[in-house]
C-alpha cells in the first residue's frame, strides 16, 4: 500500500526525475524548490517504501482561486486511485483556505487526463489554441467548491 503525505525537501530529486518522465512540459529544478517553499500545503506525494509514485503541485493564485500546476503518477502505478487521492487532498486543502475555484490546463489530446478531471467535477471553460511550447491546444478546466 502507498501513503499520501505532504512533500519533504529530500523528495525533490525523485519528484523532478518522475516529472521528467510523466509530464510533457519541462520544468526547472528551481521551480520545484519554489513551489515547495511557497505552497507546501499544495504539494503532496504518494510514497511506498521511500519511492515516490506520484505527486501533485497546486498553488493559490488569488484570494479565492487556486491552480493545479502538475499532477503525475508513475506509469507502473496508474489506475490504483493515486491521482484521485492526491487531487482530493489538494481540493480539501484549498477548501480549508476558503479557495472557491481551482483551474488547470490540460493538453487537448490528453483524453485520459480530461476524463479523469471530469470525473472529479472539473468542467471545460475555455479552449486555447497553440497554448503549449509544441503548438498543442489547451483546455482550461475549472472546479468550483460548494462552500460559499
Q: Which residues form the interface with ligand COA (CB under 6 A)?
A: 22-23, 54, 70-73, 78-84, 106, 110, 112-113, 115-116
Q: Which residue lies nearer to ligand COA by CB, 12 or 57?
A: 57
At its nearest, how many Å lie between ligand COA and the CB of residue 70? Answer: 6
CA dihedral 41, 42, 43, 46 (to 10 degrees): 100
- Ranges of beta strands (E only) in 17-97 are 43-48, 51-62, 65-73
22 vs 140, beta carbon nearer ligand COA = 22
The distance of closest approach from Cβ of residue 38 to ligand COA in the complex, given in angstroms and rounded to an integer, is: 19
Q: Tell which residue, 77, 87, 74, 10, has the closest CA to residue 42.
A: 87
Question: The cell 505532504 sits on which residue?
Answer: 6
Q: How far apart are CA 46 and CA 54, in angstroms?
A: 5
Is 7 or 83 the residue whose CB approaches ligand COA more closely?
A: 83
CB of 148 to ligand COA, least distance (A): 28
Amino acid at each position: 500500500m502507498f501513503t499520501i503525505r505532504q512533500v519533504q525537501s529530500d523528495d525533490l530529486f525523485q519528484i523532478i526525475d518522475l516529472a521528467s518522465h510523466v509530464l510533457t512540459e519541462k520544468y526547472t529544478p528551481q521551480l520545484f524548490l519554489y513551489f515547495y517553499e511557497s505552497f507546501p500545503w499544495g504539494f503532496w506525494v504518494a510514497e511506498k517504501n521511500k519511492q515516490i509514485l506520484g505527486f501533485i503541485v497546486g498553488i493559490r493564485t488569488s484570494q479565492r482561486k487556486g491552480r493545479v500546476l502538475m499532477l503525475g503518477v508513475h506509469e507502473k502505478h496508474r489506475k490504483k486511485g493515486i491521482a484521485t487521492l492526491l487531487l482530493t487532498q489538494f481540493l480539501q486543502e484549498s477548501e480549508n483556505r476558503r479557495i472557491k475555484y481551482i483551474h488547470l490546463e490540460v493538453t487537448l489530446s490528453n483524453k485520459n487526463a480530461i476524463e479523469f478531471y471530469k470525473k472529479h467535477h472539473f468542467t471545460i471553460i475555455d479552449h486555447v489554441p497553440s497554448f503549449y511550447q509544441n503548438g498543442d491546444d489547451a483546455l482550461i478546466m475549472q472546479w468550483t467548491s460548494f462552500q460559499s
